[in-house]
Amino acid sequence: MPYDLILKNGRILDPSQGIDKIADIAFTDGRVAAIGSDLAPDSGTDTRDISGKIVSPGFIDLHTHVYWGGTSLGIDAGEVARTSGVTTFVDAGSAGAGNFAGFRKHVIEPSEPRILAYLHISFAGIYAFSNRIMVGESDDMRLMAPADALEVVEANRDVIVGIKVRVGRHASGDSGIAPLDIALQLAEETSLPLMAHIDEPPPTYDAVLEKLRPDDILTHCFRPFPNTPVSGQGAVKESVIAARKRGIIFDVGHGMGSFAFATGRAMLAGGFMPDTISSDLHKLCLAGPAVDQAVTMSKFLCLGMPLEEVIRASTVNVAKAMRREDLGTFRTGALGDATIYTVDEGRFDYHDVVGEVLTGDRKIVPAGVVLEGRWWHSA
């Protein structure tokens, strides 16, 4: 079989298959073709020697805001992909039924990095989010639009992977938990998973968990106080452990207000790793504290998560959460996305959302990106 691209002599780390070895990997027609020793190119093969580097299935960021130009918080996925190594961005509800068509036509379709999306239950999506203006879209029940959202889902199932709702004092205000109930009805009707944002109470962390179904996602799961998953004594709450046993997926969703090192330490000490690591990257946290997916992953590496588990939480686990299992793996025939990177050693300062600075000894540094079987960018 002729190969379009071969990456030679890299350390292949693919948690989906339990692979961690030095080998070559080849891509043909946009998909993974082979993993082996001394794979032979032909005259038309693009061959890249990545000795000394690690290659994993393309990083997937489950929680981003990439409706660039369409919402005030949107960032440019193509620019961020070059520095973060992300090959698939999942937009977490920037658009609702009222503006999803523009998001698809003007951002998703022209984008070279893949963009998938959670559709917001709010008709307007997240429409008032800046340093000066912050209006919770779930505070106005008139914006809850399940019938309109159903039509949009049915017309866009190729790119919509779930339903998004934001609840909490900032996001839903006097509406409390009611928007979550409406979003759950839509998720049931469409047979899609739900991603629930939580900020400060009300509602409480526990109240949101109680309503979620197996395979639904709680994002911002390692929040600081209030609405934290740990007790005042630093133990993982029993309700959190029970929710995981029921099949709830716990996603980091770092952002500008939703990840604290203290919470991360307590959760990891209690044996509770996040299912998925995501940046919640948007315009207000691009310069910090989140920065990007690679930096967010590096924080967990420095908190003590093994590299294989950090990569698992940014590849195969994310693909499973989205029910897109041709992503996040190097299985033969899977979509041919790859992230090439190093894990540098040194002293690196990382910031959380409450002002703590962690000086870590390692950093994940992207060195190249493969999109659908072609070399796309060298960092």
Binding residues for Zn(2+): 63, 65, 164, 197, 220, 280
β-strand partners of 46: 5
User: If 0-12 CB within 10 Å is exposed, 13-18 middle and 19+ buried, where does residue 206 land?
Assistant: middle
DSSP 8-state class, residue 23: E
Return d(Cα 70, Cα 108) in angstroms, integer. 12
Angle, to 10 degrees, between the axis of helix 261-269 and the axis of helix 293-302?
Answer: 50
Measured CA to CA, the distance from residue 307 to residue 313 in angstroms comes to 10
Q: Where is 210: in which H helix or E strand?
A: helix 205-211
Short-list 61, 75, 78, CA closest to 118: 61
DSSP 3-state of 170: coil
Q: Which of 279, 302, 318 lies closest to 57 in space, CA to CA?
A: 318
Distance CA 138, CA 141 (A): 7
Q: Which residues are annotated binding-site positions? A: 63, 65, 164, 197, 220, 280
Q: Where are the alpha helices (DSSP H) in 280-374?
A: 293-302, 307-312, 316-322
**Tokens 């929040």, located at residue:** 223
How far is residue 318 CA from its own chain's centroid?
7
Residue 220 to residues 13, 100, 253, 256, 326, Cα–Cα distance (Å): 27, 24, 5, 11, 26
Q: Which residue(s) pair with 92 in the sheet?
A: 118
